[in-house]
Amino acid sequence: MIDLLYELMKNSKRSDRELAKVVGVSQPTITRMRKNLEKLEYIREYTVIPALEKLGFEIVALNFLSISATSEHVKEIHEWVSKNPKILFSSSGEGLNGKTLLLVSIHKNFTDFSAFTRELRSFLDLRVVSVESFLVSLKTDMIKHFSFKNLERI
C-alpha cells in the first residue's frame, strides 16, 4: 500500500491500470488500495502544484511568530488562519528564538505582503509577542521547486 502512495506522489494523474503495472498488482487491487489510503487519511487531497509566479505571485513568506494566547485565543487564531486564503500552511512548533507558530503565506507583491502583516498584527493584537518573516522572491531562479515527486522512502 505504501508503494502505491509513493507512486501517486510521483504522478497522481496515472490510471489505476498504469499504477498496477508499476506496483505489480491487479487494477482492482490498486483501486481498493487507493480507497483505503484515502479512508485512512494517508492521502489528504489530489491537487496540482502550480507555477505560482505565472499566476502573478511574487513572494512566498515564511512567517515565524511568538504568541501569548489563552486557549480561547488559540481557537480564534486557528479559525482566522484556516479562512485566510493567503496562508498555504500553518503549524505550531518550537525554535528560532522562542517562535511558536509558522505561517507560510503567498503574495502578489510587497505591498500585498505589507497589508497581510498589518492585518495579522491587527488580528493578533496583544497576543503576538514578535513576528519575523523570511521572504522568497518567486521572480528569481529557484534552486529546487516545491514537489513531492522525488520523495524517496526513508
* pLDDT at residue 149 in the model: 83
User: Which one, of 63, 99, 98, lies nearest residue 84 by Cα?
Assistant: 63
Work out the burial of residue 12: count CB atoms within 10 Å of its CB; fewer than 13 is exposed, 13-18 middle, 19 or more buried.
middle
pLDDT in tens, the chain (154 residues): 889 999 999 999 999 999 999 999 999 999 999 999 999 999 999 989 999 999 999 999 999 988 877 777 778 888 899 999 999 999 989 888 889 889 999 999 999 999 999 998 888 776 667 889 999 999 988 888 888 888 876 5
For residue 153, the model assigns a pLDDT of 61
- Distant-in-sequence, close-in-space partners of 33: CB < 8 Å, separation ≥ 6: 1, 4, 25
28-41 b/e (C-beta count within 10 Å ≥ 16 → b): ebbeebbeebeeee
Which pLDDT does position 110 carry in this prediction? 97
Residue 58 contacts residue 107 (beta carbons within 8 Å): yes
pLDDT, position 151 = 81
Residue with cell 485512512: 40
Around 126, how many Cα atoms within 13 Å sit in the side-chain half-sphere? 1
Task: Report the pLDDT value the prediction gives residue 150, as an integer from 0 to 100.
Answer: 81
On the 0-12 / 13-18 / 19+ scale of CB atoms within 10 A, 77 is buried
What's the pLDDT score for residue 126?
61
